[in-house]
Amino acid sequence: METEKKIAITFDDGPNPNTLLILEVLKKHNVKAAFFCIGKNIEKYPEIFEQVISENHIVANHSYGHSSLFDFFRKSQVIDELNKTDAIIAKVLGKKPLFFRPPYGVTTPSIRRALEVTKHKLIGWNVRSLDGIIKNEKIIFNRIIKRVKPGAIILMHDTTFESVSVLEQLLLFLEKNNYKVVAIDQLLNLKAYEN
């Protein structure tokens, strides 16, 4: 009997109105994903964030402002960004998220030292779709399927319309090829939230 081929799908930079389209596709295929959310976007779209939670997807910290200078922040600035976003998430969720993905995926000594204080687990990816940069759905889709393998963590964005179409195609491809999409906490065997 073949071992289950498990992967996880993650989305960065939401919530935003496009997130609703992503949620529809996930629901249609009965798939759970992880959403790395920006604090200021949660404040802007609280109802969409609540829907992500109500549909039992993982929500995680992706900083408060997603500054292009985030990798230059001092330890104290990183801690402030994480704590501010944690507080916004906990207000809705009722608990602190333990997963964090830095803006642009860049880690620095300051970020590492901040995470020692905040106790977040750094969550990266090993399949980058580039859907935030590339606008050609075929190229995005082929880029993902060329790299997907058991244990993969796929990085997508819930901010672009192209991602919605690519996600639909990707989920059909994964089903056809006997992949099982699981929540990232299950894939990594880590707790997503504080008790």
- Among 62, 66, 120, 157, the one annotated catalytic: 157
> How many Cα atoms within 13 Å fall on the side-chain side of residue 79?
12
CA dist 107 and 124 (Å) reads 10
- Among 12, 131, 158, 185, the one annotated catalytic: 12
Which residues, listed in sequence order, are joined to residue 56 by a DSSP beta bridge? none
29 counts as catalytic: no
Token pair for 159:
């901010």
- Contact between 154 and 129 (Cβ < 8 Å): yes
Per-residue burial over 105-126, b = 16 or more CB atoms within 10 Å of its CB, e = otherwise: eeebebbeebbeebebbebebe
CA dist 55 and 28 (Å) reads 12
Contacts of 33 (CB under 8 A, 6+ apart): 8, 9, 10, 11, 22, 26, 57, 58, 181, 183, 184
157 counts as catalytic: yes
Give the residue numbers annotated as catalytic, written as ranges. Answer: 12, 157
